[in-house]
Amino acid sequence: MDQTCDSNHSHEDDGNGSIHESSRQEKSLGILTTRFVTLLQEAPEGILDLKTAADQLAVRQKRRIYDITNVLEGIGLIEKKSKNSIQWLGAGPGCNSSEVTDKLLQLKNEIKQLQEQEVQIETYYRWCKQSINNLTDDRANKLNAYVHDKELLEAFRDQTILVVQAPVGTLLEVPINDTPAQAPLTNSTSTTDDMARRTIRHRIHIKSNNGPVNVTLVHGEAKEQSQWPCTMTNLLPPPNGNDFIFGLGPQEGLTELYIANEH
């Protein structure tokens, strides 16, 4: 009895046994897949041309090659480099599958630990942020929300301190400038002291579109260098309620504000 077999269908005879063409096809496809993967692993840099693979494997129907590549691409073992070329993303030839599995499990555990650390850090961050909000929102703390100039001078000794008071959105730029303020020394035998005398001048650019900017130089020598006593008298508030009279008569002048001490 003659039979015409189609590669896409299974046929069964009416005799003593059944012939499963599909089983033979599956076995043949499995062997072809193994040979194809081996060819991929041995390809330079894992890149293989599908036309070349079909010729080397003596495959008449290229559709079978495409069926294999679709499955391999679906499970992430290959990726398409071009229309007719693919690249292998799996292990190389002759690799120990157990070692690869152990390495994979190790990497998964490391990723899990890193994710747990990330969650813990995020929790600490939220706690710190809430603590800062609690401090800044408290009325009693708002009254003490300042830094004394002595504290700045103590923290930044031998450094120039500028206090910038500016509205939100102000841009402050400090360009990097290594050019000395003085002219370069012409003597080729300049000593280290000569080089130290050359100072570097810095510039600060401040731009504000939302209001004025106030810049103050903080230093602790002003009170020590000042030799002039204060000649102004503070009238508000007065040290004593009886120091001067609040009202003036028609015939009284500025000197009448103060009560003369009689001895």
The answer on 211 and 168 residing in a single domain is yes
Q: CA–CA distance from 53 to each of 35, 40, 43, 91 (Å)?
A: 10, 9, 10, 19
94 contacts 38 by C-beta, under 8 angstroms: no
- Report the 10 Å Cβ neighbour count for 50: 20
Asked whether residue 181 is assigned to any structural domain, the reply reads no
Q: Helices marked H in 77-96 — which ranges?
A: none
Asked whether residue 125 is assigned to any structural domain, the reply reads yes
The answer on 104 and 83 residing in a single domain is no
26 contacts 68 by C-beta, under 8 angstroms: no
pLDDT recorded at residue 183: 45
The answer on 213 and 120 residing in a single domain is no
The answer on 229 and 163 residing in a single domain is yes
How far is residue 258's CA from residue 261's CA, in Å, rounded to a whole number? 9
Contacts of 92 by beta carbon, 8 Å cutoff, 6+ apart: 41
How far is residue 131's CA from residue 138's CA, in Å, rounded to a whole number? 11
- Our count of domains for the chain comes to 3
pLDDT recorded at residue 24: 59
Beta partners for residue 200, in sequence order:
180
The answer on 208 and 154 residing in a single domain is yes
pLDDT tens digits, 13-46: 444 444 445 455 555 777 888 888 888 888 888 8
How far is residue 32's CA from residue 64's CA, in Å, rounded to a whole number? 9
The answer on 245 and 225 residing in a single domain is yes
Average pLDDT value for residue range 106-128: 93
The answer on 207 and 237 residing in a single domain is yes
pLDDT at 243 over 50: no
Asked whether residue 13 is assigned to any structural domain, the reply reads no
The answer on 127 and 151 residing in a single domain is no
Asked whether residue 224 is assigned to any structural domain, the reply reads yes
Asked whether residue 186 is assigned to any structural domain, the reply reads no
CA angle 62–68–69, rounded 5-degree value: 90
Question: Which single residue is written with the structure tokens 């370069």?
Answer: 184
Q: What is the CATH number of the domain that holds 33?
A: 1.10.10.10
The answer on 218 and 134 residing in a single domain is no
How far is residue 106's CA from residue 99's CA, in Å, rounded to a whole number? 10
The boundaries of the domain holding residue 222 are: 147-176+201-256
Q: How confident is the model at residue 118 (pLDDT cuts 50, 70, 90)?
A: very high
Beta partners for residue 88, in sequence order:
78
Asked whether residue 71 is assigned to any structural domain, the reply reads yes
Asked whether residue 190 is assigned to any structural domain, the reply reads no
Average pLDDT value for residue range 231-242: 43
The answer on 114 and 39 residing in a single domain is no
How far is residue 200's CA from residue 178's CA, in Å, rounded to a whole number? 6
The answer on 226 and 133 residing in a single domain is no
The answer on 107 and 75 residing in a single domain is no
Report if pTM > 0.85: no
How far is residue 216's CA from residue 199's CA, in Å, rounded to a whole number? 22
pLDDT tens digits, 146-200: 888 888 888 888 888 888 888 889 998 888 765 554 544 444 454 555 555 556 6
